[in-house]
Amino acid sequence: MKIIILKIFLVVIILVSCNEKAKTKEILKPEFQSIISSSNVNGSILIYDLHKDLFYSNNFDWAKTGRLPASTFKIPNSIIALETKVVENDSTLFKWNGENRAYKMWEQDLILRNAFQYSCVPCYQEIANKIGEKRMNKYLKKLQFGDMNVTSKNLDIFWLEGESRINQFQQIDFLIRFVNSELKISKRTEEILKRISFIEENERYRLYGKTGLSVRNGNYNGWFVGYRKSKNNTYFFAINIEPNENTNKELFPKLRKEITLKALDLMK
């Protein structure tokens, strides 16, 4: 009887220990909330420290809530396009049809690299239509990028409106698997994605990522996802923000990157 009680006690201790260990993986970072508040927005900063295997955030509930991926979907969309040979490389040309577009920078012929960096929606709608519903769903299942709702009717818009959802944890999980070569895609595709998603570098780090912006019923939701590689560590990030009553909406798109860089500078 004593042996049974001892075994039960040991099991309880192990379970409690595992539970405590799991809890330590999510660290509340009040300094992140200060950045959010001073930027006059609402939202969540989520950063994963690869070396320490820890998540940091000001709002984990927000980070676990699924939202439209918006143009962050250009990352998997580019991967699928390259894997299916819908586009050959980052120099594949997308011809402008001469029609007016939402932004002047889109009103020109663009190669894939620039289409990605300028976040050209019409270019990526063309890509999605060429991929097709069947192949899109097949590869999304393989890549495990959130919960995308793709049909023949919404094939060129499902990442901007509708029921597709991804949360910040899922964004980071996807990026970790990409960096670790766990997506089961070609090395060539990986290298092209790294080239087109590269943002900047200095003596301390190299920054990769993609922004996203969706507007539903006049309500803005902004993303910035990516990773920062340095000599000794890699930080993965997924920032999701929305304007509040004090937000200057003209400046809102720039805030995504500004907030992210401030948060990353706090990581040691």
- Looking at residue 4, what is its pLDDT? 54
Asked if pLDDT for residue 189 goes beyond 60, the answer is yes
Asked if pLDDT for residue 16 goes beyond 90, the answer is no
pLDDT tens digits, one per residue of 132-167: 999 999 999 999 999 999 999 999 999 999 999 999
Q: Under DSSP, is residue 167 helix (H, G, I), strand (E, B) or coil?
A: coil
Confidence of residue 21 (pLDDT cuts 50, 70, 90): very low
Give catalytic status of residue 71 as yes or no: yes
Strand segments (E) across the chain: 26-28, 41-49, 54-57, 93-94, 110-111, 198-201, 206-216, 219-229, 234-243
77 neighbors 124 (Cβ within 8 angstroms): yes
Catalytic residue selected from 71, 119, 164, 197: 71
pLDDT tens digits, one per residue of 40-57: 999 999 999 999 999 999
Give the whole-angstrom CA distance, residue 197 versus residue 109: 19
Give the whole-angstrom CA distance, residue 62 versus residue 26: 13
Domain parsing of the chain, residue ranges: 26-265
- What percent of the chain lies above the pLDDT cut of 70? 91
| Protein fold of 26-265 | Beta-lactamase (3.40.710)
